[in-house]
Chain A
């Protein structure tokens, strides 16, 4: 009985995890530029990975296997933002500008982009 419930929960978690990872991958393909695509990659790294690992943890039960799955999750959780930041920094240093498009507030975005550009200039000097 309880094994059936655990199996059912694992199914749901694995399904949800792969659904989020699939959405992230679709985002990596559909989104317009490299900075926007980072959000799609972020989905795979956070909720996609976490839910799949959680589903596997339920199958493993309270053993050392669960601890290892937890460690994988923790490593992904801590390394993902560092990787994203390194990538963003490298892309900015290479002169790739984030595509900024805003229909609601015209002035603020131009200013923010200007501020970002100025900041980038400071970083270089």
Chain B
């Protein structure tokens, strides 16, 4: 059961990776990589059951949080070209 589920999740990850490679805009890639991260969380969880080591769930939990923060940071960086500073100080002519 878990073998089949992890294989299916790997296939789905490959599909999202295709969108990440194809683009065309950077936001398509960010979207695809975010979905890839969510699927990674699920894969780690299923893998923990497959190898009967529930400690993997802690990794999945932390990966879910890192994926969230990473996506937000990349979104901000891709648009504003820096990570610091509040949005109302952004020079909109540069964007």
* Residues on A facing B (Cβ under 8 Å): 7, 10-11, 14, 18, 21-22, 24-26, 28-29, 34, 37-38, 40-41, 44-45, 48-49, 52-53, 55-56, 59-60, 65, 68-69, 71-72, 75-76, 79-80, 82-83, 86-87, 89-91, 93-96, 124
Give, as a whole number of angstroms, the nearest-CB distance from A81 to chain B.
11
How many contacts A-B (CB < 8 Å)?
138
- Which single member of B9, B30, B65, B78 contacts A75 (CB below 8 Å)? B65
Give, as a whole number of angstroms, the nearest-CB distance from B84 to chain A.
16
Check B54 against A18 for contact (C-beta < 8 Å): no
Please, which residues of chain B bring their CB within 8 A of the CB of A87?
A: 27, 30-31, 34, 71, 75
Say which size band chain B's interface belongs to.
Answer: 35 or more
Could you jot down 5 A-B contacts, CB within 8 Å? A34-B27, A49-B42, A52-B5, A86-B72, A90-B75
Check A65 against B57 for contact (C-beta < 8 Å): yes
Check A37 against B45 for contact (C-beta < 8 Å): no
Check B27 against A94 for contact (C-beta < 8 Å): yes
Mark each residue of chain B from 32 to 50: 1 if its CB lies under 8 Å from any CB of chain A, else 0: 1011001101100110010
